[in-house]
Amino acid sequence: MAEDDIYRSSTQYRLWSFSRSALHELRERTNHLAAARVRAAFPPSAPVPDCLTPSEELALVTYYCKQCLSLGSFLDFPTGVVATATQYLKRFYLTNSPMTYHPKALLPTALFLATKTENHHVPLRDFARRLPRTEPDDVLAPEFLLTQGLRFAFDVRHPHRGLKGAYLELRALADGKGVAPPRSARAGASPADLQREMRRLPPRSTKGEAAATATALADTDKDRDAAPPAALQQRLQDAYGRANESLRGPALLSDAYFHFSPAQIWLGALWAADEPLARFYVATKLPAASGAAPTRQDGGGGGAPLASTKRLVPALQACADMLAAHSDDGAGPSSSSSSSATAAAAAPGARSKDDLVRIDKKLYQCRNPDKLDLVGLNRAQKRDQAGLDGRLDENVAKRRRVEREKGEKEAEEVFGGALKGVGNGGGGEDAGGGEGTTEAEKKEMAA
């Protein structure tokens, strides 16, 4: 993980960084707890609801994060606001289940809170007015819940600015105006040397040629023709553009923020965009192998917490894989062309629209009936009413029926025309077929 002191002291690192297994376990636990609560909340006479699996929950959350991106750009919010809002959702749903709180209800709240924490406060009325069928109360009701789920840590560190810094540094290097700091692998090289080296970088590989590139890079480039300055500038611009795209989408939708530091994420994005270029950049920054671990002192770049190339490269590769796995996320059925097993496993959001519709329908059968009316719950809790639970219990059965019916309609709205193609509007108890059921069964057995 990160070496950098500032990053280490951040809540992003202290509270919101996980190993893959820890993250997996946390999601399992959250799902398990929520499912138990759903079952307990249904009257014994009712059929046992078929609960969502952790991977179905994740798919749903990822979908709503994507909706958050669209909503954010529709509202013309700055990147920082939208990026923070998606991470709020992702963080919130590590310890809360969509079965308890529907992501659709939390999405406007996350976005609104992000406007406040990212210095882009929009008055609530104006904000609510711009959303369909949303009252100010709907936005505010889950705010407290959200802040609690965020463990009152509002700061989210993003990779965007770091990438911009690196881009500017690379441009300077391409112009023959860059230097490599003393302990980096390229220390001592003159600006002209660096420029020459940069012009002779092997072309960026397309998928599947990564290994070949690595060798090509090793037996350097004496014979290769130097790229003309304009071509190099174009290459930089393209790489920056692609990397930026992945910071605005895949980086936010994947689990990248939970596993990697901001610097690793933007370097990972650059790696995925143009690996030889990223390797060259890293060499101008870091020693080849650690030993005397340098303290970071380069002015640009955004304070990358990096120790040495040797330690960094596997992390960058893993991050690049994770971003690549999410790069076609949402464009229909997953067509992940990545051969890496980790990459495939890291793309849980890559579900087809049909599958998402199925999950959303399933959710309407297993939502926690006690937590449906967030506005009412919030009001009651503010008044600190004790008799709350009892009062809700009386209404549970009726409410559930109403919600089920309403749920189907809403699903139709959220997923648009897709529902028509699916047919089976009845959406019976056995809505979840295939993988979902098996996983649910496994969970049952484990319980």
CB-wise, 70 or 381, nearer to another protein?
A: 381
Contact 167, 240 (CB under 8 A): yes
CB-wise, 152 or 426, nearer to another protein?
A: 152
CB-wise, 5 or 193, nearer to another protein?
A: 5
CB-wise, 29 or 224, nearer to another protein?
A: 29
* Cα–Cα dist 70/48, whole Å: 36
3-state helix, strand, coil in the chain (%, to 5): 60, 0, 40
For residue 207, give both structure tokens.
Answer: 């998928």
Q: How far is the CB of 437 from another protein (least distance, A)?
A: 25
Contacts of 132 (CB under 8 A, 6+ apart): none
* Cα–Cα dist 241/247, whole Å: 10
- Applying CB under 8 A, the residues found at the interface with another protein are 6, 9-11, 26, 29-30, 33-34, 36-37, 40-41, 80, 92, 95-97, 100, 112-113, 115-117, 119-121, 123-125, 136, 139-140, 143-145, 147-149, 151-155, 161, 378, 381-384
CB-wise, 237 or 385, nearer to another protein?
A: 385
**Nearest CA among 270, 251, 261 for reference residue 317:** 270
Q: How far is the CB of 12 from another protein (least distance, A)?
A: 9
Instruction: List C-alpha distances in Å: 107 to 18, 47, 89, 187, 389.
Output: 23, 30, 7, 48, 26
Q: How far is the CB of 213 from another protein (least distance, A)?
A: 34
Q: How far is the CB of 368 from another protein (least distance, A)?
A: 10
CB-wise, 120 or 404, nearer to another protein?
A: 120
Contact 232, 178 (CB under 8 A): no
CB-wise, 140 or 320, nearer to another protein?
A: 140
CB-wise, 393 or 444, nearer to another protein?
A: 393
Residue whose structure tokens are 């699916």: 422
CB-wise, 145 or 346, nearer to another protein?
A: 145
**Which parts of 96-199 fold into alpha helices (H)?**
103-117, 124-129, 136-140, 143-149, 160-174, 191-199
Q: Is 111 exposed, middle or buried (0-12, 13-18, 19+ CB in 10 A)?
A: buried
Q: How far is the CB of 111 from another protein (least distance, A)?
A: 13
Residue whose structure tokens are 């951040």: 10
Q: Would you give the distance in Å from CA 385 to the centre of its chain? A: 37
Residue whose structure tokens are 């340098």: 294
Q: How far is the CB of 273 from another protein (least distance, A)?
A: 23
Q: How far is the CB of 232 from another protein (least distance, A)?
A: 27
**Nearest CA among 153, 196, 156 for reference residue 174:** 196
Q: How far is the CB of 4 from another protein (least distance, A)?
A: 12
For residue 170, give both structure tokens.
Answer: 């690379």
